[in-house]
Chain A
């Protein structure tokens, strides 16, 4: 009850300080490994990559549809909120649900790849694979004039959190579908 009151008070007395400061932005990346032995991490079978990368373009029809019905983008924005909680709290209890939610998404995405492709590039089933995710903060390098370091697009990336790995078999396998795992955005 006290937790609910704590959550409800900012609704009744909001601050409305939208975009007061543009903070470094979190990105969720994940990898897949073979199950390790003796507590060691196994070999990478799917290198680190971003969870739900943004599409190159959005068509006019899709943009207008999303004005009314936009579940995937809203879920992605909630994942950003979960990532921000992990950045703030790490593995402490307040971020436990956030960590579990991100892990569930990673497991679902990889599980689909395993189900639709019969493996993640190799003949592996979920029983022999583990997954891991990390939070990478993206920010403008220096003063933005190109002399403050950073990569080719003037941005710096810093890993600020890495989850423990978990066996993919611990999540139920999704039904086989004719969609690649990176077709997330085309399902609206």
Chain B
């Protein structure tokens, strides 16, 4: 970062921070397949050749965290990610895998494209997609009367496949809580773009986002979303400084 008071993240700093966070995401996601016993095989583990692929991703993630061979490891992580996309005929874990692949793609382009301009363009695209991800999620909820009334969130708890325990289904019987929670989520997601205009509001919004994703992980089992989305935060932190400069010059 440049200076201890400005809290502006340089492009190089944003790249490095992204490498660390997406490296951690890779380790987390892939370790579940290397060490987990959730597969429908005799041992409960992945078939040998795919376990080797996941072990390679764990290694790539560790190297990225420590800043070793990052250009090569990013490409390896992206290539194995595409292989897994084909294996599962789509993302294994939905939005988390999509965001991780998007981060790896933009990171690889930023690392390998010639010249800073193209690298910054690729990395800026990631920042824009992160903002859109929150705003669009909020918009589709705002225009749905079931979300405005809290009924949609009640349905998520009442009969969707997401709640991690049957005890959580009791939350579907609390209409006031559901309506407040729904408007809290809608408000946060729609207001997210406005947080870019100052550094404190941006960092505050990112902190709230971390809490939001962690809550989803605890309640709905979506643990991969936490690091997947967090790995895109440095890109926005860096990019928002350019946005503020543009708006202040208008």
Q: Do A and B come from one complex?
A: yes
Question: In whole angstroms, what is the CA distance A101 to B46 when docked?
Answer: 13
Question: In whole angstroms, what is the CA distance A70 to B214 when docked?
Answer: 13
> Which of B2-10, B56-64, B135-143, B197-205 has 4 or more CB atoms under 8 Å from chain A?
B135-143
Size of the chain B interface, CB-CB below 8 angstroms = 60
Q: How many residue pairs bridge A and B at CB < 8 Å?
A: 163
> Would you give the 0/1 interface string for A70-103, flagging 1 where the beta carbon is closer than 8 Å to chain B?
1111111110110001000000001001100100
From B32, B161, B218, give the contact of A80 (CB < 8 A).
B161
List of A residues within 8 angstroms of B36 by Cβ: 69, 71-72, 75
From B102, B105, B154, B221, give the contact of A70 (CB < 8 A).
B221
A8 within 8 A of B: yes
From B32, B86, B133, B163, give the contact of A69 (CB < 8 A).
B32
List of B residues within 8 angstroms of A75 by Cβ: 36, 38-39
Give chain A interface residues in 146-188, CB to chain B under 8 Å. 153-155, 172-175, 187
B16 within 8 A of A: no
Contact B42 A54 (CB under 8 A): no
Contact B132 A22 (CB under 8 A): no
Contact B40 A101 (CB under 8 A): yes
> Would you give the 0/1 interface string for B17-60, flagging 1 where the beta carbon is closer than 8 Å to chain A?
00000000000100111011111111110000000000000000
Contact A54 B102 (CB under 8 A): no
Give chain A interface residues in 23-69, CB to chain B under 8 Å. 24-27, 54-58, 63, 66-69
Contact A10 B98 (CB under 8 A): yes
List of A residues within 8 angstroms of B89 by Cβ: 7, 85, 94, 97-98
From B32, B41, B44, B161, give the contact of A74 (CB < 8 A).
B32
In the assembled complex, the CB of B235 is this many whole angstroms from the nearest CB of chain A, namely 15
Contact A74 B164 (CB under 8 A): no
CB closest chain-A residue, reference B37: A187
Give chain B interface residues in 91-146, CB to chain A under 8 Å. 91-95, 98, 101-102, 105, 129, 132-133, 136-137, 140-141, 144, 146
Question: In whole angstroms, what is the CA distance A144 to B221 when docked?
Answer: 26
B179 within 8 A of A: no
Question: In whole angstroms, what is the CA distance A80 to B136 when docked?
Answer: 24
List of B residues within 8 angstroms of A76 by Cβ: 161, 221
List of A residues within 8 angstroms of B75 by Cβ: none
List of B residues within 8 angstroms of A57 by Cβ: 165-167
B67 within 8 A of A: no
> Would you give the 0/1 interface string for B140-173, flagging 1 where the beta carbon is closer than 8 Å to chain A?
1100101000011011101111111111000000
Contact B137 A71 (CB under 8 A): no
CB closest chain-A residue, reference B223: A70
Question: In whole angstroms, what is the CA distance A151 to B165 when docked?
Answer: 20
List of A residues within 8 angstroms of B151 by Cβ: 144
List of B residues within 8 angstroms of A56 by Cβ: 165-167
A134 within 8 A of B: no
Contact A55 B165 (CB under 8 A): yes
CB closest chain-A residue, reference B46: A71
Contact B158 A155 (CB under 8 A): yes
List of B residues within 8 angstroms of A74 by Cβ: 32, 38, 92-93, 221, 223-224
Question: In whole angstroms, what is the CA distance A57 to B132 when docked?
Answer: 35
List of A residues within 8 angstroms of B82 by Cβ: 4, 8
Question: In whole angstroms, what is the CA distance A128 to B224 when docked?
Answer: 41
Contact A4 B226 (CB under 8 A): no
List of B residues within 8 angstroms of A116 by Cβ: none
Measuring CB to CB, which residues of chain B are less than 8 angstroms from any residue of chain A?
28, 31-33, 35-44, 82, 85-86, 88-95, 98, 101-102, 105, 129, 132-133, 136-137, 140-141, 144, 146, 151-152, 154-156, 158-167, 214, 217-218, 221, 223-224, 226
